[in-house]
Amino acid sequence: MAGGFAKDGAVQDQIDATIEDGIRHARDQMPKGKSLTHCEECGGAIPEARRQAVPGVRHCVDCQAELDKHVKASAGYNRRGSKDSQLR
């Protein structure tokens, strides 16, 4: 039973919305289009196996790993919840 102004199940709804947002964000970040044969960063060849495994790939494994280090994480909580049931 939820207390305050939150309806029953509000916490679960908030968790579900956070997961859906995360999935949507991850899908938006995936490469799209035709894979490149050479890396945009270093110019090195991108192996055929990588191009088939990740359609739309634009970087070699090493450059992609370096780029991934600089990706900022999301806020970590869902701002859509009611004011009395914010999750962190």
What pLDDT is attached to residue 27? 86
- pLDDT score, position 20: 92
Domain locations in the chain? 33-71
pTM, to two decimals: 0.53
| Ordered mean pLDDT values, 10 residues apiece, the chain (88 residues) | 64 89 86 90 94 91 91 60 52
Token pair, residue 21, equals 């947002």
Q: What is the pLDDT of residue 74?
A: 56
The pLDDT score that the predictor gives to residue 4 is 59
* pLDDT on residue 9: 75
